Every structure is written in structure tokens, then in C-alpha cells.
Amino acid sequence: MMSIINIPFRLDQHAMVWSIQLIDSSSIAFYLDVSLAFIYPANDLHIKKYSKKDFLLIHETQQRYETIVRPYIEQNQLNAQWVYNIIEGKSERERILLETEQFIILPDFMWDGKAIESMHILGLVKTHSIHSIRDLTSEHIPMLESVLEKTYVIILFL
């Protein structure tokens, strides 16, 4: 036997969320929890945030990184200007959750500031020599461990 529990609750005047739980009463192992958010009126940012995104998987070797990816990153430095603006304190100062000498932690700009479940955290390193994960070396391990530890603590207290 399958039962459906429908529990509506109002988030604000424009959004209604239902928590729908499908429970197979013969087995506790089968459990599905689905949350639906209805946003009205929805603006372009809402539509972009909740639209399906296409993904592409590329096998990147060290050679491809050195000959294709790294030159592309270096030629298109203007694309990373938003990162440098945050690091240099020119933008997003009010959104920073933590700043150390080595890195800054802040929520992704797409986050609505309310639903913790949809929050993505950005960790920005202050050095300009790291452009991608390929630039990391064993020397960066203490910094990466610090980012992980401090981000975990921040998320616990949000």
C-alpha cells in the first residue's frame, strides 16, 4: 500500500511549497521526499536559476591543459575580473562570510539569501597564480584544508 502525505505551507505571498512524501507502508526502505516551489511572478533570474542546465564531460589531460586550457584562461583574463573585484574589495563586500589572508568565502550570487538548501558557497583564493584546479600543488594543501574546515563551520551556523 502506498500513501501520499501532502503538507502545504506558505513561504511568502508569492510562493507556496508542498512537501510530498511517498511512503511504502510495507517497507521503510522506500522513501521519496520531493519539494516543489511555485514562484509567482517569476523573473528572468528565477527562470535561469531553476531551468535545466546542460552539462558536458571532457577528459582533460595535463598536455591539453598546458596547450589549450591554460592559454585560453590567460587570454581571457577579463572574464575573471569579477573575481578580482571581490578579492580587491571593489564588490560584494556585504556578502562575504569569511575573509582570511589567503581566501574569501561567500555565497554564490544566484542564492536568494533564504533557502539554505539552494545555497552554493564560493571559495576564492587571493593569489592570482591559481586559475584552475590544475594549478594546485601539494603546497596548497594547508590552505585547502583551512578552506574546508572554515567553510564547514560557517555552514553549521547559517
69, 97: one domain: yes
Q: What is the pLDDT of residue 18?
A: 44
Round to whole Å and give the CA distance between 7 and 3.
13
C-beta of residue 147 within 8 angstroms of C-beta of residue 141? no
Considering the entire predicted model, what is its pTM? 0.56
pLDDT at position 6 over 60 = no
**In terms of domains, do 80 and 22 share one?**
no
Half-sphere exposure of 125 (CA within 13 A, CB side): 18
32 and 90 co-located in one domain: no
**pLDDT (tens digit per residue) in 122-132:** 999 998 888 77
**Number of domains the chain is built from:** 2
CATH number at residue 95: 3.30.428.10
Domain that includes residue 22, residue range: 2-50
Q: How far apart are CA 9 and CA 106, in angstroms?
A: 30
Identify whether 58 is part of a domain: no
| Average confidence score pLDDT of the chain | 77
Answer yes or no: is 57 within a domain.
Answer: no
